[in-house]
Amino acid sequence: MAPVYSAGVAMVGGYLAGSFSPAYILTRRLKGIDIRAVGRGHAGASNVYLNVGPVAGIITAVIDLLKGAAVVLACLHLLSTPLVPAYLGGAAAVLGHIFPFYLRFKGGWGAATSAGLLLLSMYWLIAPAPYYFMPELILMAFVVVSTLLITRNDYLLALVVLPLLAYFILACYYPRLEAIAAGICTGYIFAISLAQLLRQHRFRLAKSPVFWGVLLKTVLLASLVLVARFPAERLLLAISIASLLFLFLDMVRLWYPGHFRFTTLKRLAGLPGRATGGDRLSATTLLCLGAGFTALFFSRWSLNLVVAAVSFLLIGELVEQVVEPFYGRTPLPGGSLEGGLGHLTACSLSGYILHAYLGISSGTLVVGAVTATLVKQLPLRGLNRVAVPLVSAMAMLISSEGNLF
């Protein structure tokens, strides 16, 4: 069969197969209602699970999951089409799920069908050499479990895990077609999850009091990545300038509380929107001081160790500042159990990425990530922001010099 005709047949067959809607059919049979008129308003497995029952929801999920993958396999083995037309048939199955012709083109979101294509692509990539992808799978499993324990929300789980999964797959297997297809599927499911979070008004960070702190720590982390390419003297100079700037803002606030009227400056310094006249250094100043002391004491041994320790400080603080106000349920002396778990997860992920760029052993980075999380949970009244990079750098230095890993 000519490639054009095989692609046409695959796409037509894929659309028809994808148009089969078990959510609509099962709900009509069991409840006598249109599943699109209740709950989340779509013909998908999650809506069936919530409004009809777990058994019907699981059956729907399995069928939707298999539709796209079955179309691709049928194209390859029954029609003997190349891989590209087979994937086009799978994409048509997703479109059929979203726009079934007999339901006035209003079906589900296509997340389960896309997930089926994603799983099939991952199987083709991983099965020939499963141990090659094993570290990434273990880290992914840890991230999935920790995210579920923290948020208890499937959309937020997808929002955290899918970009990470796409990064792992493309980093390990690009430019294989299966890796590109898997990346496209993860991107589409990510877009659906983000849209649902926005629709449920559960993504309000920009209107939250923590927004300015999160934004500033993101800028500091990006700046660290940029200046890390320069010599140690320039890195130390950049951190010193930032420390002096925020220390100056704090001195003005502490000595002249009535004159500190610039709301934007107060927020940038890590202070609340209203003047409090407190007697403590701001969180941002302490972060900069911790980074500066770490660079001063440890850059003589290894600049990469400094970058790793300060990265653990910033990325852990960034994630914990998001987790604590929204999901902190179990209190600990230095925060909450959920915040600590988010801190450890973020540091573990940053350690995985830093391993490829800094040349530090994965075992040493694990020691640094765990140490940073433990120190962050100590009741030091904010001074743990200074202690985290110092102690984690020391732990990594001892680990690397002692050849523990």
At 277-321, the pLDDT tens digits run 344 677 778 888 888 888 888 877 888 888 889 889 888 888 887
262 has a pLDDT exceeding 60: no
59: pLDDT confidence band, cut at 50, 70 and 90?
very high
The two tokens of residue 149 are 């324990």
Cα dihedral 337→341→347→350 (10° resolution): -150
Rounded Cα distance, 67 and 15, in Å: 10
Cis peptide before 175 (omega within 30 of 0): yes
Q: Each residue of 186-201: pLDDT tens digit?
A: 999 999 888 877 776 5
**Helix or strand or coil: residue 168?**
helix
What mean pLDDT is predicted for residues 76-92? Answer: 92
Which residues contact residue 163 at a Cβ distance below 8 angstroms, ignoring those fewer than 6 apart?
186, 190
Mean pLDDT of the chain: 82
Round to whole Å and give the CA distance between 140 and 147: 10
Q: pLDDT class for 276, splitting at 50, 70, 90?
A: very low
Cβ neighbours of 38 (radius 10 Å)? 15
- Determine the pLDDT at residue 235: 62
The CB-side HSE value for 85 (13 A sphere, CA atoms) comes to 22
**The predicted structure's pLDDT at residue 22:** 94
pLDDT of residue 278: 41
Determine contact, residues 270/211, Cβ cutoff 8 Å: no
> Alpha helix locations (H) across 256-302?
263-268, 283-298
* CA 193 vs CA 139, 163, 196, 205, 365: distances in Å: 22, 12, 5, 16, 31
Between the CA of residue 161 and those of 57, 63, 96, 226, what are the distances in Å? 23, 23, 26, 26
Query: Which of 67-76, 229-238, 242-251 has the highest mean predicted lDDT (pLDDT)?
Result: 67-76
pTM metric for this prediction: 0.76
CB 360 within 8 A of CB 400: yes
3-state helix, strand, coil in the chain (%, to 5): 75, 0, 25
Q: Going by C-beta distance under 8 Å and a sequence separation of 6 or more, which residues neighbour residue 170? A: 179, 180, 183
**What integer pLDDT is reported at residue 256 of this predicted model?**
64
pLDDT tens digits for range 197-231: 777 655 555 455 555 555 555 565 555 555 555 56
Element holding 162 (H helix, E strand): helix 154-173
Q: Can you read off the two tokens belonging to residue 378?
A: 């100590």
* Cα gap 253→385, rounded to integer Å: 20
Q: Which residues contact 279 (CB under 8 A, 6 or more apart)?
A: 254
For 131-182, write each residue's pLDDT tens digit: 888 888 899 999 999 998 998 877 788 888 898 899 899 988 989 999 999 9
In this predicted structure, the answer to whether residue 27 has a pLDDT above a threshold of 90 is yes
Which residues on adjacent β-strands are paired with residue 336? 331
Query: In whole angstroms, what is the distance from residue 205 CA to residue 321 CA?
Result: 11
- CB-CB contact of 301 with 356 (8 Å): no
d(CA 333, CA 250): 26
The residues spanned by each domain of the chain are: 1-109, 128-203, 206-401
> Pick the residue with more confidence: 208 or 325?
325
How far CA 212 is from CA of 69, 205, 242, 249, 360, in Å, comes to 44, 10, 16, 15, 32
Helices (H), 1-53: 3-19, 22-30, 45-51
Q: Give CA–CA dist 170/158, Å, rounded.
A: 18
User: For 301, phi and psi rounded to 5 degrees?
Assistant: -90, -50
Amino acid at 361: S
Residues in CB range of 25: below 8 A, 6 or more apart: none
Query: Bigger pLDDT: 93 or 274?
Result: 93
Between CA 55 and CA 67 the distance in angstroms is 19
Q: How far apart are CA 359 and CA 342, in angstroms?
A: 25
